[in-house]
Amino acid sequence: MDAILLQILNGLDKGSAYALIALGLTLIFGTLGVVNFAHGALFMIGAFCSVTLQRILTLSVETIDETKKDFLGNPLKVKTPYVEQWFGPETGQAIIDWSVPLAILFAIPVMLLIGFIMERGLIKHFYKRPHADQILVTFGLAIVLQEVVKYFYGANPIPTPAPQAFVGSFDFAPLLGLDTSLAYPYWRLVYFGFSTLIIAAVFAFLQFTTFGMVVRAGMADRETVGLLGIDIDRRFTIMFGIAAAVAGLAGVMYAPINSPNYHMGMDFLVLSFVVVVVGGMGSLPGAVLAGFLLGILESLASMNEIKSIIYGIDQIIIYVVAIVILLVRPRGLMGRRGVMEE
């Protein structure tokens, strides 16, 4: 029982990442009708926003310490971050320690800007082209973004720790009256909470603001909204920026879970597309539901008890479930009639 509960917890944070990326993908598909294969790269860029801010905050002044030697036997260059010089060692260290949460503020304008540039500079030229063209151009863009990041940051993973306050794990077992350990890392719990907050914010924005209402109307019938004199294209461009920011924020907070590397977006991309299809093309609640569902199923399938029955099930479970769901419900869990249908 405790093993199942642990895997459900695992699935929730995995599902959080899937849901956030799939939510952005669905927003872009639902508004602009574009199949964006560069969305995983946006997640990766978000994670590198954390790395970048960490590097900015650790920019240092070098002093020579004659008493210590470097690997060549020369006097050691000791680096002291500017923030420690300006604010004192304790405050400076605290600022550096909190670089990942602070990166949220840094990432929002950066990701919005990247989203606008991507949409205005490249993707808008492919609105009326077949989906295959859109996939090719966005996939190419993803590779370019990957290589740019690799050029500046290298191919190795870069450690980006969570604040010290969130190091360690919380044991749910006493709360549930269990004898065994049900420990779960604090940061993963933070990630789940953060994802839930972002998802709720996106839904609230679309549901309760005039801007959101117009966007939803545009998603349902773009031409009619245009005929009413509303510049729906401009709003959809803004939605592209918001979708990029959602993917970026998912990446920012994911950085302490697994050290960012240039390839991490691709690792999530294919699974996120499966999530979108299972949830139903164009359905925002479907993307979120499928994200959590598939995340939990993937975690449960990696249990030894299940793997011992079907070897390798943990690697294919998502695809098996996707096939079954699409056979039973061809439009996905919450798909709408007419989306991606002739």
Partner 1 sequence: MSFTKLTRRGLIQTGAVAGAGLALPTYLRAENHAGFTNAPTGSTVTLGFNVPQTGPYAEEGLDELRAQELAVEHLNGGGDGGMMNTFSSKALKGNGILGKKVEYVTGDTQTKSDAARASAKSMIEKDGAVMINGGSSSGVAVAVQDLCQSAGVIFMAGLTHANDTTGKDRKANGFRHFFNAYMSAAALAPVLKNAYGSERRAYHLTADYNWGWTQQESIAAATEAMGWETVENVLTPLASTDFSSYIAPVLNSGADVLVLNHYGGNMVNSLTNAVQFGLLDKEVNGKKFEIVVPLYSELMAAGAGANVQGVIGSMNWNWQLQDEGSKAFTKSFGEKYGRPPSNSAHTCYVQTLLYADAVERAGSFNPCAVVEALEGYEFDGLGNGPTLYRADDHQCFKDVLVMKGAENPTNEYDTLEIVEQTPRAQVEYAPDHPMFAGGDLGKCNPGA
Question: What is the C-alpha separation between 255 and 35, in angstroms, rounded?
Answer: 26
Closest to partner 1 by CB, 168 vs 226, is 168
- 187 binds partner 1 per the rule CB under 8 A: yes
In 3D space, the residue among 202, 335, 192, 341 whose CA is nearest the CA of residue 275 turns out to be 335
Question: What is the C-alpha separation between 136 and 140, in angstroms, rounded?
Answer: 6
Binding segment for partner 1 (CB under 8 A), chosen from 132-140, 236-244, 282-290, 309-317, is 309-317
Find the length of the chain. Answer: 342
Q: 238, 263, 285, 339: which one contacts partner 1 (CB under 8 A)?
A: 263
Question: What is the C-alpha separation between 240 and 225, in angstroms, rounded?
Answer: 18
Binding segment for partner 1 (CB under 8 A), chosen from 69-77, 83-91, 199-207, 320-328, is 69-77
- 181 binds partner 1 per the rule CB under 8 A: yes
Encoded amino acid at 47, one letter: A
Instruction: Please classify residue 305 by burial: count the beta carbons closer than 10 Å to its beta carbon, then call 0-12 exposed, 13-18 middle and 19+ buried.
Output: exposed
Mind giving me the DSSP string for 200-252? Answer: HHHHHHHHHSHHHHHHHHHHH-HHHHHHTT--HHHHHHHHHHHHHHHHHHHHH
Q: 75, 88, 140, 154: which one contacts partner 1 (CB under 8 A)?
A: 154
- 20 binds partner 1 per the rule CB under 8 A: no
Closest to partner 1 by CB, 172 vs 205, is 172
CB 166 within 8 A of CB 253: no
**Residue 243 Cβ, how far from partner 1 at the closest point, in Å?**
23
**Residue 249 Cβ, how far from partner 1 at the closest point, in Å?**
18
What are the residues binding partner 1 (CB under 8 A)? 2-3, 6-7, 9-11, 13-14, 68, 70-72, 76, 150, 154-159, 161, 168-169, 180-181, 183-185, 187-188, 257-259, 261, 263-264, 267, 298-299, 302-304, 307, 312, 314-315
